[in-house]
């Protein structure tokens, strides 16, 4: 499940190919890819059947877009999706290919039963364990790690996971901790980041988490991203982009002029404290930035002109030190709470 930009290729009466990209909430089901207008919608906007479908990745149909993959249905309709980073695209491609293979063999796609394959005790609750690992004070710490001329942000090592499970008395020894960690990996709570961890995840029928200090992993719902080393010219990058990425995700934002609402991808950075927003269907250049130092951020129940655009609930407002007002909407109440908490922390500590 994730928020991904999507487009469908079709032609008008003159034969000209028309495309428009929109950010949608995507869910892989047992026999297709469902997409929703919003994360909270109960019924999908559409479904792409995977029986008889083919998948192309990387897809080069869009020269100015990166991280695109294409699904072509049995009826030869093309659907294009764009991931936010390489690892996200690889995870989607791997699971969609598995689903297509299952359907071709007359079976329905379903994730393997981790509990049966690695004999997890019935008393183990992976959801609760994952919540404890994500605890900001007492969980597994997310770090910026360098490896093979790349920088991995918001990640940790396999050895760190095993150490944490033993230290919190969730496992009695390393083999037992490794069994739990492998369960978290197979259920999608943890994702492989570097080449070594990906090899461990893909080299056998059952993915295995590696208890090694150079095997890198990240939380599935974190702000993980990977980047190469900067060149000398990159030292000229604006000061506002030098902060660590604290949080990122899609929100609805109200425009300042027309007051209409559009999906934007937001990236929150600290030191200096900035919130940059992007069109998720286009390139890497931000549409704008919000300087958060000494700002005020609060949950609100009413925004002028919001109901005109059927916008209601989970709203919050940012007021900058220059008294510029920004109105945003999260998908859920918990997500709104997380964004407000993160922005408040950055506004106090960042310069």
Residues 211 and 266 in one domain: no
Which tokens hold the place of 125? 């609750």
| pLDDT for position 140 | 95
Nearest to 316 by CA among 242, 266, 246: 266
CATH number at residue 90: 2.30.29.30
Rounded to whole angstroms, how far apart are CA atoms 187 and 112?
8
Is 119 inside a domain boundary? no
Residues 221 and 133 in one domain: yes
Is 330 inside a domain boundary? yes
Q: CB–CB of 339/332 below 8 Å?
A: no
Phi-psi region of 271 (alpha: psi -120 to 50; beta: other; left: phi over 0): left
Final residue in a domain of this structure, among 105, 135, 154: 105
Residues 65 and 43 in one domain: yes
Q: Containing domain of residue 145, as a range? A: 126-227
Final residue in a domain of this structure, among 227, 256, 279: 227
Is 110 inside a domain boundary? no
Final residue in a domain of this structure, among 227, 251, 278: 227
Cis bond upstream, residue 272 (ω within 30): yes
Rounded to whole angstroms, how far apart are CA atoms 114 and 103?
21
For residue 108, give every residue at least 6 positions away whose Cβ sits within 8 Å of its Cβ, in sequence order, or none.
30, 31, 102
Per-residue pLDDT reduced to its tens digit, 251-302: 989 887 777 888 889 999 887 889 999 888 776 678 888 989 888 999 988 8
Q: Please tell me the pTM assigned to this model.
A: 0.45
- Number of structural domains in the chain: 3
Is 6 inside a domain boundary? yes
Per-residue pLDDT reduced to its tens digit, 216-252: 999 877 767 776 644 433 433 456 677 788 898 889 8
Residues 331 and 237 in one domain: yes
Is 237 inside a domain boundary? yes
Is 118 inside a domain boundary? no
Res 25 pLDDT > 50: yes
């Amino acid at each position: 499940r994730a928020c991904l930009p999507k487009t469908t290729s079709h032609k008008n009466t003159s034969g000209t190919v028309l495309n428009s990209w929109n950010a949608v909430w995507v869910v892989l089901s047992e026999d297709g890819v469902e997409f929703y207008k919003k994360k909270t919608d109960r019924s999908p906007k559409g479904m792409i059947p995977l029986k008889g479908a083919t998948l192309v990745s990387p897809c080069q149909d869009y020269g100015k877009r990166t991280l695109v993959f294409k699904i072509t249905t049995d009826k030869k309709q093309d659907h294009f999706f764009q991931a936010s980073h390489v690892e996200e695209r690889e995870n989607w491609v791997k699971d969609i290919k598995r689903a297509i293979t299952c359907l071709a063999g007359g079976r329905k796609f379903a994730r393997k039963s981790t509990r049966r394959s690695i004999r997890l005790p019935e008393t183990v609750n992976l959801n609760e364990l994952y919540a404890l690992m994500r605890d900001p004070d007492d969980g597994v710490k997310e770090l910026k790690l360098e490896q093979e001329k790349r920088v991995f942000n918001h990640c940790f090592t396999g050895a760190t996971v095993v150490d944490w499970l033993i230290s919190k008395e969730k496992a009695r020894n390393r083999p037992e901790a490794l069994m739990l960690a492998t369960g978290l990996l197979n259920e999608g709570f943890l994702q492989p980041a570097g080449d070594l961890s990906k090899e461990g995840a893909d080299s056998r029928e059952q993915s295995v988490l590696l208890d090694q200090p150079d095997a890198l992993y990240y939380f599935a719902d974190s702000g993980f991203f990977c980047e190469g080393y900067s060149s000398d010219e990159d030292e000229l990058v604006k000061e506002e982009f030098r902060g660590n990425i604290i949080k990122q995700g899609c929100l609805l934002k109200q425009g300042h002029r027309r007051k209409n609402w559009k999906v934007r991808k937001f990236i929150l950075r600290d030191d200096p404290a900035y919130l940059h927003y992007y069109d998720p269907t286009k390139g890497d250049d931000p549409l704008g930035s919000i300087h958060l130092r000494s700002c005020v951020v609060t949950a609100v129940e009413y925004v002028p002109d919001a109901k005109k655009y059927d916008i209601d609930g989970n709203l919050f407002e940012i007021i900058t030190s220059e008294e510029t007002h920004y109105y945003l909407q999260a998908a859920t109440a918990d997500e709104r709470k997380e964004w407000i908490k993160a922005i408040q922390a950055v506004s106090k500590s960042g310069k």
